Structure 1
Amino acid sequence: MSEEIVSFLQEIPLFADLPEEELERLAEAGEIQRFHRGEVIVKEGDLPEAFYIIRRGSVVVRRSIPGRPEQIVAYFHEKDYFGEMAFLRETTRNATVEAISPLEVFSLDKDAFRGLLYRHPELQDLLEAQMEQRLTLGETRFPWLGDDEVVLSFRRKHLIALLRQSWWWIIPLFLGSAAAAVAQQTGELPYIILSSSLFALAALTFLYLYLDWRNDYYVVTNRRIVHLERVLLVREDRDEAPIQRVQDVNIVRKGPLAKVFDFGDMVIQTAGTTGQIVFRDLPSPDEVLEVVLADVERSRRRSRVETKKIFREELQERLGWKPRGEALEGEEAAEGGAQEGEEGEEEKEPEKKPFDFLLPLRVIGYWLKSTFYVPMWEREDDTITWRTHWFVLVRKSMAPFFNLLFFTGLLWLIGMGWGPMETLSPSLRRMAWVLIIPVDLFILGWWFYRFWDWKNDLYIITSDRIIDLKKRPLFLQEERRETTLDKIQNVNLTIPSPIAQLFNYGTIEIETAGEVGAFEFKNVYDPRRVQQEIFAHMDELQQRQRESEERRRLRQFADWFAIYDELKREQQQMGVELEEGETS
């Protein structure tokens, strides 16, 4: 067993440079511990007792936040370690670690772990650096992260990407320096003003470029990869893909600078129609590559674990091997249902309600609310409906609004007899009223047409499909495009302008693998949330389809096992009958 532990420790990157004698010493000092799923290994607030390295299984790390529910900050898997933070900081545990699968760990007690750090102080430096990185990732949260989603890698573009745009501010800086030199020699005010303006322009340009560089980032989570590209005050694009759709990852380094300063482009091949998400000018791309590949492998491993679980359930059901706990639950549910049935036998007489005299007003109020109060999104069970942003309605209503304002103002001036209208005879005024009132009514109808046209355009996502519905008022035209969620390959986000940034609307581009082509949810409210909801519905559908397909396929295997079990029982029965015949 000691040799097996030594071989395991040699595969841990943290111990890669330790001599074999030290690893043998650790193997003797440590012990193997096993935990069941749901069992707590480390509890927040406890004193540190051991340092753990995972041999098999996975754990989730949760941290309490005052006034909020526990937050998931990390997942650890095979060959990951945890428990070092409390030793390094000499404090209590700052998080709870729970097994989310059958778990086997190699643990070192506090004396053995502190002795290791004393003999190899370079390990403490490495652990502290990795601890800071873990803390940063654990505290990195985005509004679009799911409840059980954690950040595994967060990077901005390399500083080289910022320096490439230096000429934007170096040019005004150079011209400002030249103007300052002339101003120093001549002392003339125009040169002083010019140099100051150019210096201010250079400073503002550098600040804009820096903020624009800082706004772009690349994120890898345990569920997806995300590339956010913002042009400050102009637009925002976000490309992302579920981690299970990643097919291949390559790193491209262009030129000697990329090798010297360790940056490059990481090209992520996905199952989408565009096929690629590119992390350009990515610092330390090899590290991010390892994170992505490990994430993909864990996704595949989870799929295999789910398959085994489904197979076990199907086999138990087919062979009639129902676990005792489930049988007891079924009996209790049946008894509870019987009791509810007995209680439900006593019927109560319906109460007579007095007539509601305000009912007509309530009906009118309900009609006005349902007609003119139009939310930009609404949810009913698993179905979410979005409309285009109200800013689009305002933009479409500008022409009828100003026309209505003009003709209504003209009608009012004629009625009051102000200004040049004072000279009009009563007959001409009546004629003007007769002509203008229908125009006002026509313009009002024009506005209602625009309103209903805006209201009738819907973007819908259900539990298994997306729908783009466009209906013209008065039954003039209706166009309905839809496809199933499993045909969606990529979902991209674009916020096209500063106005769109201000009012929080944008366009969602949905690439599909079907003949129906790409979908566009144009000018939709809160596009980041729309994108997040689409991916969440896709994940749920894929989970249901995967379970359904696995159950169908494994049901066939279960049938074979059931037939085998029946044949085996028949053979046993025949053997018993033969023995009874011989004895008789």
Structure 2
Amino acid sequence: MQAQREYRIKLRLLEGEQILYTIGHHAVSGVAALILPVGLLLLIVGLYSYIALGGGFTVSRDLFSAGQLDLFDWLVVGQAVLLGGVWLFLGSVERKSYRATRWSLLIMIVLLIGFLVYRAAGWRLFAPAAVGMQPFGPFALLLIVVALAIAGQVLYILVDLINDQLILTNMRVIYFNGAVLIPYLIEKQVQRDVTLEDIQNVSSRTETYLQHWLRYGTIKVQTANQDAPLIFRAANDAREMQRRIMTERQRLLQNQSERNFDQLIATRVYEDQTPSTTWRYPFRVLVIPRIFRWLLNDNPLVEPAQRSLTWYPHWIFLVRDLTWPLGTLLTVVALMVPLFLFGWADLPLLSAIGILVALICLLWMVYQLEDYRNDRYMLTPTAVIDIDKKPFGPEGRRSASLGNIQTVTLNTTFISNIFGYGDVVMTTAGTGGAFTFYRVPRPREVAATINQAISTYRKGDRDRSLDEALQLLREFHHAQARTGELRH
């Protein structure tokens, strides 16, 4: 079951990482989210059935029925009472998430009450069997289209709720928010990662009695970046997830300390050096043929000597940018052909115009190509770097230490998944703002690579701190030897 879930949400686990616990949204949140669209869908289906069976509409008044309530009127009363119950139910599910829905329900209740007053005054709107059956009339077809659109929204909400998960591993807390209709093709995904080391506080809160009785609530994972907490609402068994996150964080920090001291003694005291491993990029690379290397680089560009990676935007955006100059050139050529065939312009004039337009379009293409090549996103062993350079002009460069990165977020849409690109957003503990790798190919692999680099950097940072502690002990030992404090 765990393997199936991991496949469905396409997690890229780090080296040595294991999934420990997974929760989703409570079922009651799904009911609350689907009430309004399902209700509208049933209303549209009922209205279509009425029209398809020959029902019509007319404005008339029956004074003899004024002040009396028939069966239809009592059905309207029942619908108003039902909507009022739904309004109260949504208020007990969560206080802030369904405000727009509750306002919509209030408007619907007011309209039903107004319709009931309209009928109580003797006015009528519906005329059963006023016309013949019209299952495919213009209005009926419009209702079919609206019903299909609402049914699509219901399906999207349902799939989105099923795929939303909060995942605890032995290294990270991962918030996966996605709607997967067809895996790897029609899907939208947002993935946020927080390393256990960066977590400062985890809170679990229930706001209503219903949340308390059904044991679900809101989980808030706070890091050093106060502006970007990880929030998972309507979490099933929120308290258990909170307890497990804090327990796993404490266990990780304790194990790291023990391993670091053991490794410190083995490598620094007894000089038991472990063999170094060759660095390599574990994922696919878009390799550019050698004859085109003067135009484009591999994506990502791997430099093993520096252990650095450079990503460029997806190639489809280069094609998009080159479409404009090529389209302009082809349009001008298409306009010049009839001018020449019908003798409306001289050949020398058309040739001069053609050469001028071709030169302009060629320079335009060179500019677009250079602009694409200058848009680079780099990952080094110590930092991420965002380079934005104008073609043949000024350059902007931003960088952030891997140790300052708090969260890594992956954003994809239905369209971007078809072509295989997305955005990777990194938030830092400082005030420099978020770093975004826009429209990079295979964004899940990019996010996994950055997370692995952060883990490696922090391990090296801890090793450097331990080296400093060991050097201090050595100096203290030498000082004791010089002063004769040591006794053999």
Q: Scaled by the length of structure 1, what TM-score is found?
A: 0.60
Instruction: Give the C-alpha shift of residue 203 in structure 1.
Output: 4.6
Letter in 1 for 2:323: M
Q: Does 1:171 align with 2:40?
A: yes
Contact in 2 for aligned 1:511/1:518 (Cα 8 Å): yes
Q: Among 216, 222, 238, which residue is 1:269 paired with?
A: 222
The change in CA–CA distance for 1:480 and 1:205 in structure 2 (over 3 A counts) is closer
Within 5 Å, which residues of 2 pair with 1:233-382?
Answer: 235-313=188-266, 316-317=269-270, 366=290, 368-381=291-304, 382=307
Q: The residue matched to 1:524 in structure 2 has which SS?
A: strand
236 and 138 in structure 1: CA distance in 2 versus 1, 3 angstrom threshold:
closer
Which residue identity lines up with residue 302 of structure 2 in the other structure?
R
Question: What is the identity, as a one-letter code, of the residue corresponding to 1:395?
Answer: R
Question: Which one of the candidate residues 145, 158, 171 is aligned to 1:210?
Answer: 158
Check whether the contact 1:245–1:270 (CA below 8 A) recurs between aligned residues: yes
Residue of 422, 432, 442 corresponding to 1:526: 442
Once residues 492 and 453 of structure 1 are traced to their aligned partners in structure 2, the CA distance between those partners, rounded to angstroms, is 26
Instruction: Specify which structure has the bigger relative contact order, considering alpha-carbon pairs within 8 angstroms and separated by 6 or more residues.
Output: 2
Which residue number in structure 1 is paired with residue 329 of structure 2? 404
Confirm or deny: 8 A CA contact 1:453 1:473 kept in the other structure. Answer: yes
* Residue 386 (structure 2) aligns with: 468
Q: State whether residues 296 and 373 of structure 2, in contact with CA within 8 Å, keep that contact through their aligned partners in structure 1.
A: no
* Residue pair 2:187, 2:414 contacting (<8 A) in 1 also: yes
C-alpha change, 1:202 and 1:493, in structure 2 (3 Å) is closer
Query: TM-score, normalised on structure 2?
Result: 0.71
Aligned to 1:453: 371
Aligned to 1:145: 13
Assess if the C-alpha contact under 8 Å between 1:273 and 1:511 holds in 2: no
1:484 positional shift: 1.9
Residue 204 of structure 1: CA displacement?
4.1
Matches within 5 A, 1:33-44: none
Question: Deviation per CA, 1:341-369, whole angstroms, max 9, x where unpaired?
Answer: xxxxxxxxxxxxxxxxxxxxxxxx95x42
Q: Percent identity?
A: 20
Give the direction of change, closer, same or farther, for the CA distance of 1:264–1:570 in structure 2 (3 Å limit).
Answer: closer
Structural RMSD (CA)? 3.1
1:485 aligns with 2:402: yes
Which one-letter code corresponds to 1:488 in the other structure? I
Q: Choose which of 339, 360, 365 in structure 2 pairs with 1:442.
A: 360
Q: CA deviation at 1:315?
A: 6.9
Are the counterparts in 2 of residues 310 and 547 from structure 1 also a CA contact under 8 Å? no
Contact 1:137/1:151 (8 A) holds in 2 = no
Tell me the alpha carbon deviations over residues 309-346 of structure 1, each in whole angstroms, 9 at most, x when there is no partner: 145247735xxxx6xxx59x99xxxxxxxxxxxxxxxx
- Cα offset, 1:254, TM superposition: 2.0
Moved more, 478-487 or 242-251: 478-487
Q: Which residue in 2 is equivalent to 1:220? A: 168
In 2 relative to 1, CA 571–229 (structure 1 residues): closer, same or farther, beyond 3 Å? Answer: closer
- Equivalent of 1:189 in 133, 145, 149: 133
For the 8 Å contact 2:405–2:426, the answer to whether it is kept is yes
Structure 1 308/190 Cα, relative in aligned 2: closer, same or farther at 3 Å? Answer: same
Indicate the SS of the match to 1:220: strand
Query: Please, which runs of 5 or more residues in structure 2 have no aligned partner?
Result: 54-127, 181-185, 276-288
Amino acid of the structure 1 residue aligned with 2:203: N
Alpha-carbon distance, 1:302 to partner: 1.6
Give the deviation of 1:235 after TM superposition.
4.4
How many Å separate the matches in 2 of 1:231 and 1:538?
28
Secondary structure at the aligned position of 1:190 is classed as: coil
Quote how far apart the aligned CAs of 1:567 are: 7.3
Q: Deviations over 1:46-76 (max 9, x none)?
A: xxxxxxxxxxxxxxxxxxxxxxxxxxxxxxx
- Could you list the per-position Cα deviations for residues 148-189 of structure 1 after superposition, in whole angstroms to 9, with x for gaps in the alignment? 111111222112221112211221213322443565563843
Task: In structure 2, give the amino acid aligned to 1:300.
Answer: L
Q: In 1, Cα distance between the equivalents of 2:155 and 2:353?
A: 59
Number of equivalences: 386
